[in-house]
Structure 1
């Protein structure tokens, strides 16, 4: 019976991703972000549960990646599509972009994130070396980066930030950077603690403490800084080579 618990948590990730997709399509980006956060929560604990119960399975690995394609791949692509659509229309608009709206090709660039996420997850499934570290930015981290943009627009209400985020060039460049990071050769440490020792997990403790401080002081604006710090600390640490 216990073998079903991790897979059930993964399916809750799938369900959260489905709900987030609906909200993203309807341009309710705040709710889309909330359910992506919930999905990533389940994504973290399904693996934790599998290791704690010693019930890791090939089905669980495949199911986990399929769930991430939705929650951390499709949803960020739809959100970037919506942001690019708003950028073209010249402003922040949470209304539904219906079938009668003028549709151009530029917003579809956002789905490059979905394609890159799917490719990254497929590579991860056949790569046996990504255990204590990752090669390329994990899809949940990338999803948090993209989903932080509408949350910054909603909760920081800064004209300068709004103008930057809703600039089409900024969004296109960010999409290109995102797709590169997902499939880059950069080694990044994983947040997997083999023990409680600070000596063995110093980089992880520093990252988590720093992230908490940034979140408490900068709120959603902290998320891009946390992702940048994660990449920078991994480069300095050699992708967790000391683990």
Structure 2
């Protein structure tokens, strides 16, 4: 039976996700054979202590952005014994577990069937997001769909892959955002089959998935537009 490891990252200075994590801790520890977390050094001490008292293997890292945290957790996870990995942003994982736990279990059990699986959102799950997310991510997802030759949603913060794919990602990942880059590393460099599945659990809840900082509406749109450009550029150039 292949061992499946969870790879996840978080930056939680206010400890806002402690309560939801406490409610889901046993379920998450039951689903995965290993659990790896990189957590920013700016996260709340209380939250770090909660994680240290769980089955998660923890690595505290400087806050250098999502891409660096994701690369750190892949490298960290390769120190374990897992044959396959499920990457999911920590806030996304909590939302998924809190609202669609059985779907999460089902998806994880099927991970060993694929070398690289992009996990995206159903139409319903996508439409739970703020409009500036939905509209800008349409562009990114269209570009990535054209590059991979299938309709997909690549910006939902979750994917799964084999140890072989993880080793390639660990060696080649260098972009400012990894959402499309990792899939292209698997597809173009490792020559692995990339497949796609849409799930309900990657939906949006403001109290879990919302930003910690207050922005004007125009700043929100501009920020998401910048992300869309970075992810789209990585989709086109990675591995070519």
TM over 0.5: no
Q: TM-score, normalised by structure 2?
A: 0.28
Q: Choose between structure 1 and 2: higher strand proportion.
A: 2
Which structure carries more relative contact order (alpha carbon 8 Å, separation 6+)? 2
Q: Choose between structure 1 and 2: higher helix proportion.
A: 1
